[in-house]
Structure formats: C-alpha cells, structure tokens
Amino acid sequence: MNQPETRTDRYIGKRQARSEDLRLLTGRGVYTDDVSLPGMLQVAFHRSPVARGLIRSIDTSAARELPGVFAVLTAQDLERYQPNMLSFFLAPPVVPVPLLAVDRVCYVGDPVAMVIAQDRYIAEDAAGLITVEYEEEAPVVTLDDARQGPLVHPGTESNVAAATGADELDPDLEELLNSAPHLEVIEMKHQRISQSPMEPRGVVAAPQGSGEMTVYLSCQGPQLAARWFSQAFDLPQTTFRVISKDVGGSFGLKGQPWREETAVVAAALILGRPLKWIEDRLENLTSANQAREQDMKLRVAFDLEGNLIASHADYGINNGAYPHGADSNIAVMMFLWAAHKLQAFNFSAKGWFSNTVGLGAYRGPWALESLAREVLLDRAARKLKIDPIELRRKTLITRADQPTMTPMGLALEDISPAECLEELLKKVDVAAFRIEQAEARKQGRYLGLGFATYIEPTAGTAGVIVLISESCHIRIEPTGKVSAVVSTHSQGHGTQTTMAQVIAERLGVPFEDVTVYEDDSSRGGYGSGAYGSRQAVAGGGACIRAADLMADKIRAIAAHVFEARPEDVFIRGGRVHILGAREQVYSLRDIADVAYAEPERLPEGMEAGLETQYRYCPPALTLTSAAHACVVEVDVDTGFVRILRWVSSEDVGNMINPAVVEGQVAGGLAQAIGQVLFEEVSYDARGNPTAVTYKDYMLPTIFDVPVFEYLHGASAPSQTEGGFRGVGEGGCIVGPPTLVNAIADALAPFGELKLEFPLTPPRLLELIEGRPMGRRHG
C-alpha cells in the first residue's frame, strides 16, 4: 500500500499570480473616485496664494451666487467641529491644526474655504470667485530661515517643532573626535520629496441616518483611519466606518487623514449630504504633506586601520507648518550606527516649523541615516586608502557578533548586512570592474561602482500603541468556501494574495478557495494596515495562527463525527481525509453542514459554526538587512548618469511570494533613483512652490530604471511566526547611498561630490568642470 499523502499544497514561497490583478487589469477596481452616491456633491478648496500672511477679509458672495453651488464654507462655518488633529501615533498636535485657515495662512496651498457644488467643474469655478485679502508677511521657507526667521506659529517659543538629543557638546566625545587619527566630516542637504502616489488623496463622506458616518477613503488601512476619525472628532453618537477598497499607492502620504479629508467629513456632518473630494495633481504637489527636506552634519572618528572610534550627528528636518506629527526623526539616530561597531555616539536632532506644506511620512522616513553613513564610509575609505568593502567588513556587526546591544539601546539578535554583502560579492566581480573602469577612463568614459549596506526595522512594535498587533478572522462559510478578514491593507502590496497564500497553505485548501477581505473597518478588528514594512510579519503571523486554529477545529470535528483519531485526519486540496484501512474523504462543506446545522453532533462543549480568530503580537523588533551594488556611467560632457547594473542582496527571512518581495524592492529602488537624480519639491524665496506639475517634478520613467538583479541567498528565517521579516521600505533606504557612492566613485578623479540633492546634471557638471553652473530653480 502506498503511503497516504498527508502534505498540504505549498503556497508560501511561490510566485503566485495575484488575485487583485484580475480586477485591476480590467478596470474593475474600486478606487475612492469610483464611488458615486445618490445626492453626492463635490468639493473644491480655495487655497492661499501666499506663504505667510494675515487674512484681512474673505468675500464668498460671488461664489455662493453661481448656479450649481450648494454651499461655501470657511473656518467659521466649521467651528462646531474642531477635531483634534492627531498624529499617526494618535498623539495631539504641538500647535493647533485648523481644518481651514482661521486668521492666518501658513503656506501656499493652505485651504481657506471650501466650495460644495453639484460637480467639480462648478466647484472649481466658484472657488476661483472667492476673494481673500491678505496682509502678506516675509515667509520662513528653508531650514536656515526657520533657525533664524520669525515665528511660523506666533505664540510658540521658537520654530522648533520637536527636538531630541543634546544641544551641548559632550566634552568626552569631542575629545575622542578631535584626537582621533582621522576625522571624517560631511555636510549634506537633502531635497524635499513628494510621495506622488499615482492616485492622489481622496474621500467620500456619507452620513447615514443611523448615526454612522461612512467614509470611503484613500488610505493605508481603514481600521486605523476609523480609529483616527473617532478619536479626533470624539463624537460618541457617531460611528465612523471607513471603506477603502483599491488604493493607488501611498508610500506614507495616506497613513492618516489630514486637513482636507477631515474638513470634508466635518462638512458632511454639517450639511448631512454625501460629499466627495478628489485631490488633483496640482493640489497633490502643493498641498499634500511632503517629506525628506533635511540637513545633517556628520562627524566620524577613525583609527588608521579604519576602525570606528566615535561619531556625532547634527540634524535638522523641515516640518513645514502642519506636520502629520511634529518630528525630529529620532529613528535616524537609532539606526545610523545600529549595525556597526561603534559605541561612542551622540547627536542633536531638531524638527523645524516653516511656511511650507507640512511634513508627512515617506517610504523609510529615517533613510538619511543610510545615505549619510554609507557616503561617509566611502569618503573615509578613499582618504585612508582602504578598500570600501574592507572598511565595511571591519566595521559591520556580523551574525557571529550577536546578540549585542547598540549604543542607542537596540537589542540585536539576527541582523546580517555583512553576510548580505558577502553574498553580493559572489555576483559582483569588483576586481574585474576595476580593470574595466581603468580602461574606460583612458577613453574618457567615467564608470563607477557603489556599495551600501543597511538594516531596517520592519515590524517594530515596542511602545508604538497603534502597531502592537494585527488580527485575522477566518470563516469556513456554510458553503465550504474560506473567507478571511485581515487587518492588513494593500495600496499595491498584494496582501489579498499573500495573506491568502499563507491561509491556504496552513489550512490545506486551494489558494483559489480563500478570499481575503481587508477593505472595511466595520468587519474584522483593529490593525494599522500598511505602516512600516510589517504586514508579512504581523498579518502573516495572525493568518498562520488563525488558520492553525481552524485546522485544529476541523480535525476535531471530523474525528468526532466520523469516529477517527484526530491524528488520522488531514486537510489537503480543500478536502478532509481520514486515514485508515479505507481512506474516507469529506468536503469542507460536509464539515460546515455539521458545524452550522447540526451542532448537537459536535464534540461536547464545542462552539457551533466554523470561525476562528487570532490577534498576533510580533516580537518587539524584527529587522531586515541588505547589501546593494550598482554600476553607473557619468557622461562628463552632459552630467547625465546612466545606471548600467544594480544588484540587491537581502535578508527578508522566509518569503511568502518572491515576486511580491522583488516588486517591493524594485519599487523602493525606483524611488531611490528619483530621489538621487531627479525629484525635488522646490520653492522660490517667497515660498511659492515651483514644481507643480509632472513636467517640473520629475519622476523616473522606464528609461531611468535598470533591470534589477535579486539575491536571496543570505536570508535566514526570523524569530516571528512563519519566519518572515517583512519588506517594503528598504529599496528607498539603501538605494540612495548605493547610487550616490557609484556616482562618487565614477567622478572621484574630479574630487568629492557636494552633497546637495538631487544630483542633477548641472550639479555634477559643477564638480566635473570645476565652476558654478546654472541652477534649476531660483
């Protein structure tokens, strides 16, 4: 007799085609703008054309008289609702954040009034008919302005929005820095970035007679958004139900509702009508919170062998006028030296208010740590005449060095950037490249090779109240089909596929039989959705545990009803097999029939039905690691950079779907390329944004992004349920230094790069030609 097949089908680790794609490829997805309701009206905002000033008067009479206009609201009209504009962590703001400007405007694009009309064309016509008189004041635009200029928010003590670290220099640390054999210092300025999801923000707010406020929202997780609205509005009689089916990308921008979405909800409460606001691209590039405008001075002391002795960082980040959460970006400091053998470290970090649109999250918000460190390490290597790879081998914490503790108090158990680097070097032949590079230089061609390594916190939960756990609720329906409600959410992540892969494998059912729902805060339990690169770890863990509970229940029922031993019951291919002299096979429908319709046949004390749920709390911190390399050619006549090769070697633990993992790496790398070479939200001296279309804000196209090569050989399972580590932000963190180091290597004969981003052709030509070139803006 053949051994009975007891293994279930394998889905975890497979390049499963995505179930989302069937609707998305055929135009049948439901994004927020695809929702239309009876009686729904459209919203357009009148926005400030000045960056800083007092509102002297607002005249909305002409707008109100336009046929088709239903209402025009200003701050005064919204006074009944003064929501507490919480941060992502649900902390109250450090300065009051009005929904509409009250008596002062704080940035170009600051919403002053909202028009509600029968269609968007009329709403925009009417918004253009509103007249506002301003008393314009000199604005605070840049970080340097913020440090010296007038108060952005009168009544505050300074323009410091948030601060961590110490202003005072530590004399012992200074002594270590100043007496070291080699002190490397870099100063860098990172430009402002627009997250630029292809679908801008959007909301439909529909008050229901029952007291429910149904909010269709482009967001990163309907559960967190519903919790945010509920806590922000604090209206016990109103239930906030958030529905978010398909979302066209987010990258941090839609992690929490902000002024416009919240103003639309408040207006719907006041007017009792369904209202829709869809952000257009001009609004998205000027009025949606932005990211990354930072500067940093980093000092690092080395001995002559390249060992790290001490470091100090002085860091600033532009918070704009109304940041999603006032922030000095402590994670930059947490991760700057977390993977390196360096104990003496101190810093000062400040977030600064300015008369620009507020700070939001962007993929890997703390990414400047990797850019600063990796660029500095390469510079030090050039000066100390040490191979940059040897410098990393010397300074990185390896698997053998762990467990250990970082100077900032992070416990490390299983990071592997050094091992990822060794894996990378199996595929990137550095010696061969150096010969090619030397030959090319003889012909006037400048090739460069850059490396970078990093670690990334993915499912970090410690102390972050909104991120502690995720839930999965599985039902075998009376029909025998499997439904799962998971607190994950996809803005392109494909979690309806990956979570179904996990459940199908653990439960022993075909992938096609599992439907995952994650689009409605009224079904399932709280979870943060896509925040951090955590969904595989937190959501995947919840799915494993809930599926295992379900499999146990099915086995117990089958054993009891069909008089078998539980250990002889197996579920595979969606059918329940009972091993024995004569194998019996039942469908899940057979088990569901008993569980739902004949509960008296269940084991004594067992709850009727087939429903299980599990709320999984991942470990306090899960980390991924990676090493990347890229090869560029810089055209020294034009300053253009061409990327010839890019290889990624990462440790993301066990993979649920390698194609999804690689998609996340690739997407992050494309954004990295945009950051280093093209993208810049720029302002003139009066605070006017000067990149307000995709002709000025330049996103990478297919010509700018090379074919990426992926190496997964350094991966090791994590301690989490399933051994996953998570993926998402990494490419956007390790990508920039990899590319900058390649450009710096190519142009090393001309000297060191000035670290002002993006590295546009004029900026590179300044180095190549040794003379100032025209600037793109201002």
Question: Contact residues for other proteins (CB under 8 A)?
Answer: 15, 17-18, 20-31, 33-34, 36, 121, 196-199, 246-249, 251, 280-281, 423, 490-494, 658-660, 662-663, 666-667, 669-671, 693-695, 699-703, 705, 707-708, 710-715, 731
**Judged by CB, which is closer to other proteins: 247, or 753?**
247
Q: How far apart are CA 679 and CA 228, in angstroms?
A: 31
Nearest C-alpha neighbor of 391 from the set 304, 495, 474, 501: 304
CA distance 460 to 531: 10
Q: How far apart are CA 669 and CA 511, in angstroms?
A: 30
Taking the least distance from each CB to other proteins, the nearer of 633 and 650 is: 650
Q: Which of 565, 579, 530 is nearest to 253 (CA)?
A: 530
Two structure tokens written together for 617: 């709390």
CB-nearer residue toward other proteins: 25 or 166: 25
Q: Map residue 724 onto helix, strand or coil.
A: strand
- The amino acid present at 53, given as its one-letter code, is G
* Residue closer to other proteins, measured from CB, 198 or 432: 198
Which residue's CB is nearer to other proteins, number 370 or number 715? 715
CB of 489 to other proteins, least distance (A): 12
Could you tell me if 264 and 43 are in contact, meaning their C-beta atoms sit under 8 angstroms apart?
yes
Q: What's the alpha-carbon Rg for the chain, to the nearest Å?
A: 28
CA neighbor of 105 nearest in space, from 688, 547, 655, 632? 688
User: Cβ closer to other proteins: 193 or 768?
Assistant: 193
Answer yes or no: are the C-beta atoms of 31 and 199 closer than 8 Å. Answer: yes
For 168, other C-beta atoms within 10 Å of its C-beta total 8
Residue 107 CB, shortest distance to other proteins, in Å, is 22
Q: Are 396 and 355 in contact (CB under 8 A)?
A: no
| Tokens describing residue 728 | 């998402």
Q: Is 431 helix (H, G, I), strand (E, B) or coil?
A: helix
| Min separation Cβ 246 and other proteins, Å | 6
Give the nearest distance from C-beta 542 to other proteins in angstroms: 22
Nearer to other proteins, 247 or 265 (CB): 247
DSSP-derived secondary structure for 83-107: -----TTSPPPSS---SS-SSEE-S
Residue number, 502 or 670, with CB nearest to other proteins: 670
Q: Smaller CB distance to other proteins: residue 89 or 694?
A: 694
Report d(CA 550, CA 484) in Å as an integer: 11
Pairing between β-strand 611-616 and β-strand 584-587 as defined by DSSP bridges: unpaired
Nearest to other proteins of 432, 702 (CB atom):
702
Q: How many CB atoms lie within 10 A of CB 276?
A: 25
Q: How far is the CB of 202 from other proteins (least distance, A)?
A: 11
Taking every pair of Cα atoms in the chain, the longest distance, rounded to a whole number of angstroms, is: 91
Shortest Å distance, C-beta 451 to other proteins: 18
CB of 253 to other proteins, least distance (A): 11
Question: Least distance to other proteins from the beta carbon of 609, Å?
Answer: 33
Q: Are 684 and 145 in contact (CB under 8 A)?
A: no
Of 662 and 766, CB closest to other proteins: 662
Q: Which residues pair with 470 in a beta bridge?
A: 616
Contact of 100 with 74, CB cutoff 8 Å? yes
- Residue 110: CB minimum distance to other proteins, A: 22
How many other C-beta atoms are found inside a 10 Å radius of the C-beta of residue 255? 29
Query: Minimum Å distance from CB 475 to other proteins?
Result: 26
* Nearer residue to other proteins within complex by CB, 263 or 661: 661
State the minimum distance, in angstroms, from the CB of residue 27 to other proteins: 2
Note the helical H segments in 446-531: 495-507
* Least gap, CB of 638 to other proteins (angstroms): 18
